[in-house]
Amino acid sequence: MATVTNKNKPTNTMETLTPPQPAVSAPTTPTLSVMGKGTEIRELHELEQFHTPQPFEQGERNYHEHNRLTPHSDFARRILNGCRHYGLVLDEVAMKVDGIEEYKTEPKNWTSALVYKHKPAKKVANRFFLIARVRNYDFQVADDVETFIIARNSHDKRVPMEFAIGNKVIVCSNLMFGGDITIKAKNSRFGIENFASRLNSLLSDYRNNVAQTRKDIEFLKNYNIKAEEGLSFIGYNASKADFIQQSRTAQVCDMFIKPEHPEPYQDSEGREKYTLWRLLNAYTYAHRGDLAIDPKTNEPYTDARRKGAATLENKKKYTAALWSSLSQVKLDGYENFNKKWYNQVS
């Protein structure tokens, strides 16, 4: 998950990135971090310090059930070069390794035993995580929505090779992982080849579809409704639970009337704007659960941690259903669309 910090220091860049292009404003300091325990990595060459176990080695642990492990540095380069090939410019990349341990191999004979005796133990980083912000304007689904890529790899079979892209992503060293669109591949003999093929398909599909998504969001943002119409929609659909769990209906109403971040839903004079976009976001806000309160200060934690968040699977299912329902306005016209609920409730 992306975490935001102070924005007054220079940005770190990666060796595989293309020069910046005209796009959304780039941050002036590192603002991304893979959440959880582990060791921060900011440059690709830092990954070279970690050994990738090989099938011919006879180590204390059997890493070779995978047949062939992909080095974290190679995996990261595949991700970054694939993004560059499809035109994604990344203005910041954050990485983390976890599960670092010494890797010892057994000597085959007495001569190799003498060699091993004087060699330092190799270090293996069992898990690798990456998050990066997509800078291109034409890859953003909306002016006020940031897009991220995330990825992870492992040497200990706890997680497969995975990649995701979206505006709401999670990548934590506690093995939480999710995005709007996700692919994965096993760490097998041909795992990196399978992964590369799926990565190409995902990035190609995303590039082809993002323009239409922008148009859909602009439509929702510019379609005005009345406050009572939005509340009637929420109330009418609560019992069906197609768009959110019934227990969260009150939160949806709260976020529609008084959003947690109100500025995008107000005009230049501070007057409230009620739109289909505001209605959709009232639901997505509620999926995040409640802000957790620090008992020491009786205020929300400074890192905005939450409790009771909906599962990623439910978020996707509910949001897809709601998006489809609100998009019907384009086909039916709003007067016909709201007859399904507004006229019956109001």
From CA 48, how far away is CA 161, in angstroms rounded?
18
Whole-number pLDDT of residue 251: 93
Least confident of 18-27, 136-145, 166-175, 290-299: 18-27
Q: Same domain, yes or no, for 264 and 341?
A: yes
SS3 state at 271: coil
Whole-number pLDDT of residue 7: 34
Task: Report DSSP state, residue 248.
Answer: G
pLDDT digits (tens, 9 = 90+) for 26-69: 444 557 888 888 999 989 999 999 988 877 776 666 666 656 88
Whole-number pLDDT of residue 340: 67
Whole-number pLDDT of residue 119: 62
Cross-strand bridge partners of residue 92: 133
pLDDT digits (tens, 9 = 90+) for 178-222: 887 888 888 877 888 999 999 999 988 888 888 888 888 888 999
214 versus 305: the higher-pLDDT residue is 214
146 versus 73: the higher-pLDDT residue is 73
Q: Same domain, yes or no, for 234 and 308?
A: yes
Least confident of 51-60, 267-276, 313-322: 51-60
Asked whether residue 12 is domain-assigned, the answer is: no
Q: Same domain, yes or no, for 105 and 205?
A: yes
Q: State the burial class of residue 234 (Cβ atoms within 10 Å of its Cβ: 0-12, 13-18, 19+).
A: buried
Whole-number pLDDT of residue 55: 72
From CA 69, how far away is CA 52, in angstroms rounded?
7
Query: Cβ(70)–Cβ(54) under 8 Å?
Result: no
Percent of the chain with pLDDT over 70: 80
Q: Same domain, yes or no, for 142 and 270?
A: no
113 versus 88: the higher-pLDDT residue is 88
Strands (E), 192-297: 290-291, 293-294
Q: Last residue of a domain, which of 179, 210, 241?
A: 210
Q: Same domain, yes or no, for 70 and 150?
A: yes
Range 266-284 average pLDDT: 92
Asked whether residue 104 is domain-assigned, the answer is: yes
Query: Cβ(202)–Cβ(181) under 8 Å?
Result: yes
For residue 153, pLDDT over 60 is answered with yes
Whole-number pLDDT of residue 133: 92
Q: Last residue of a domain, which of 146, 175, 210?
A: 210
Going by C-alpha positions, the residue among 108, 97, 216 that lies closest to residue 159 is 97
CB contact set of 197 (below 8 Å; sequence gap of 6+): none
174 versus 148: the higher-pLDDT residue is 148
Per-residue pLDDT band at 289 (split at 50, 70, 90): confident
In angstroms, the Cα distances linking 113 to 101, 104, 108, 120, 123 are: 21, 12, 7, 13, 19
CB contact set of 85 (below 8 Å; sequence gap of 6+): 203
Residue type, 276: L
> What's the whole-model pTM score?
0.65
CB contact set of 229 (below 8 Å; sequence gap of 6+): 274, 338, 342, 346
For residue 299, pLDDT over 80 is answered with yes
Whole-number pLDDT of residue 27: 45
Asked whether residue 27 is domain-assigned, the answer is: no
In angstroms, the Cα distances linking 270 to 117, 259, 262, 264, 266 are: 72, 14, 10, 10, 5
Range of the domain at 95: 39-210
Q: Last residue of a domain, which of 181, 210, 239?
A: 210
Whole-number pLDDT of residue 208: 83
Q: Same domain, yes or no, for 332 and 252?
A: yes
From CA 36, how far away is CA 96, in angstroms rounded?
9
Q: Same domain, yes or no, for 293 and 259?
A: yes
Domains of the chain: total:
2
Buried b (16+ CB within 10 A) or exposed e, 151-183: bbbbbbeebbbbbbbbebbbbbbeeebbbbebb
Compute the residue count for the chain.
346
What backbone torsions phi and psi does residue 148 show, to the nearest 5 degrees? -130, 155
Q: Same domain, yes or no, for 244 and 182?
A: no
Q: Same domain, yes or no, for 333 and 274?
A: yes
Average pLDDT, the chain: 80
SS3 state at 229: helix
What backbone torsions phi and psi does residue 274 show, to the nearest 5 degrees? -105, 120
Whole-number pLDDT of residue 106: 62
